[in-house]
């Protein structure tokens, strides 16, 4: 009898094989599918140490592949405050959430929140630096738009980023400004990588491991077993960090990483 560490029975298995498109059982040894067949084949693949799962007629499919994602951004999101439509219906709600977090956060430490959508806010507009300053002036604050292509900073965060009235936009970015004074109002377009890579402190390893663990669970419970990280800032250090997370069993799905163009020489050298 072939050795089988895991057996799925009473399943509707979608095999993706045009000759035998469906099966009733799957036999697995380690990380390899060794056989798909019918319920009549179950006894031949069931040993004393085989873990058997009765699927009760449910469908079994191959793992999904996420063809384009930003893993570090997702891990960071899972570490930040939630200000999506389920949690915040107005700028006042966002102010309350930030204020409550500020009361528990040492002065000077960053507060981050993710997921606001101006179309679902009562005010039908983005928050501004002055809105966030009402919640706290003792912490730099970063609010991430649901699209990940825009963010809002409060006054302290703008100061740390050296974004003032004379700051010029880099190509492909935009700094929204007060129409009367020309002062930045806190809303930035396509500048999240700059803020996170150049202004904020790097993600601590302990936080990285927590974020990776949470992302790992979300991917797996949704059936995603492979992903392509398409972050243009990906560098060799990030590659090595993800390898370690996988080696330590914290992040299970397979990862294909797109090398950031500016970091391509270091990848080639390695």
* Residue after which a domain boundary falls, among 199, 217, 252: 199
Answer yes or no: pTM beyond 0.85. no
One domain for residues 172 and 246: no
Query: Which pLDDT band holds residue 42 (cuts at 50, 70, 90)?
Result: very high
62-80: string of b/e by CB count within 10 Å (b at 16+)? eeeebeebbbbbbbbbbbb
In a domain, 75, yes or no: no
Whether the predicted pLDDT of 115 surpasses 80: yes
Q: How far is the CA of 163 from the CAs of 4, 111, 187, 188, 191, in angstroms?
A: 61, 18, 11, 10, 11
C-alpha closest to that of 83 among 130, 135, 138: 135
160 & 106 share domain: yes
Has residue 97 been placed in a domain? Answer: yes
153 and 240 fall within a common domain: no
Per-residue pLDDT tens digits for 124-144: 999 999 999 999 999 999 999
- 183 and 241 share a domain? no
Out of 199, 220, 237, a domain closes at 199
**CA 113 – CA 192 distance, rounded (Å):** 13
195 and 214 together in one domain:
no
Q: For residues 101 and 126, state if they share a domain.
A: yes
| Domain assignment of residue 76, yes or no | no
pLDDT of residue 1: 66
Q: Can you list the pairs that 174-179 forms with residues at least 24 positions away whose Cβ atoms lie under 8 Å?
A: 176/126
* pLDDT confidence of residue 197: 87
Domain residue limits at 123? 82-199
**146 shares a domain with 162:** yes
Q: Look at residue 183 in the predicted model and tell me its pLDDT.
A: 97
Q: Which residue has the higher pLDDT, 260 or 53?
A: 53
249-264: average pLDDT: 94
Final residue belonging to a domain, choices 148, 170, 199: 199
Answer yes or no: is 162 within a domain. Answer: yes
Q: Tell whether the model's pLDDT for residue 173 goes beyond 90.
A: yes
Residue 185: inside a domain, yes or no?
yes
Q: Is residue 99 a contact partner of residue 135, using CB atoms and an 8 Å limit?
A: yes
Q: Is residue 32 part of a domain?
A: yes
What does the DSSP 8-state code read for residue 55?
A: -
Same-domain status, 171 and 222: no
Please state the rounded mean pLDDT for residues 149-168: 97
Q: For 209-265, give the DSSP string.
A: HHHHHHHHHHHHHTTEEEEEE--TT--HHHHHHHHHHHHTTS--SEEEEPPPGGGHH
Task: Clarify whether residues 179 and 103 are in a common domain.
Answer: yes
pLDDT, tens digit, 9 for 90 and up, residues 187-239: 999 999 899 989 999 889 999 999 999 999 999 999 999 999 998 889 999 99
Q: Report the CATH number that the domain containing residue 221 is assigned in CATH.
A: 3.30.110
Element (H, E) at 40: none
Q: By C-alpha distance, which of 57, 172, 61, 153 is closest to 111?
A: 153
Please report, in angstroms and rounded to a whole number, the separation of the first and last CA atoms in the chain: 44
Query: Structural domain tally of the chain?
Result: 3
In a domain, 264, yes or no: yes
3-state SS record for 7-20: EEECCEEECCCCCC
DSSP codes joined into one string, 145-187? ETTSSEEEE-HHHHHHTT--TTPPPPTT-EEEE-TTT--EEEE
Asked whether residue 260 is assigned to any structural domain, the reply reads yes
The answer on 100 and 45 residing in a single domain is no
Q: What local confidence, expressed as pLDDT, does residue 3 receive?
A: 85
């Amino acid at each position: 009898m072939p050795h089988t560490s895991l057996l799925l029975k009473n399943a509707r298995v979608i095999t993706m094989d045009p000759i035998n498109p469906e099966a009733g059982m799957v036999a697995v040894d380690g990380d390899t599918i060794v056989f798909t067949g019918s319920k009549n084949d179950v006894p031949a693949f069931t040993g004393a140490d085989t873990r058997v799962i009765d699927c009760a007629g449910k469908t079994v499919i191959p793992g999904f592949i996420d063809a384009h994602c930003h893993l570090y951004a997702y891990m960071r999101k899972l570490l930040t405050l939630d200000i999506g439509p389920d949690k915040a219906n107005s700028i006042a709600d966002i102010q309350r959430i930030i204020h409550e977090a500020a009361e528990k956060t040492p002065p000077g430490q960053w507060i981050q929140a993710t997921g606001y959508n101006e179309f679902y806010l009562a005010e039908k507009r983005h928050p501004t630096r002055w809105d966030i300053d009402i919640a706290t002036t003792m912490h730099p604050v970063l609010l991430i738009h649901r699209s990940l292509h825009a963010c809002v900073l409060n006054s302290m965060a703008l100061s740390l980023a050296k974004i003032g009235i004379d700051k010029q936009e880099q190509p492909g970015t935009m700094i929204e400004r007060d129409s009367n004074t020309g002062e930045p109002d806190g809303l930035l377009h396509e500048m999240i990588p700059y803020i996170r890579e150049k202004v904020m402190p790097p993600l601590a390893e302990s936080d990285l491991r927590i974020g990776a663990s949470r992302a790992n669970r979300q991917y797996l419970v949704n059936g995603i077993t492979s992903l392509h990280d398409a972050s243009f800032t990906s560098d060799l250090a990030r590659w090595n960090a993800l390898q370690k997370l996988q080696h330590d069993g914290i992040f299970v799905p397979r990862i294909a990483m797109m090398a950031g163009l500016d970091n391509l020489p270091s990848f080639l050298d390695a």
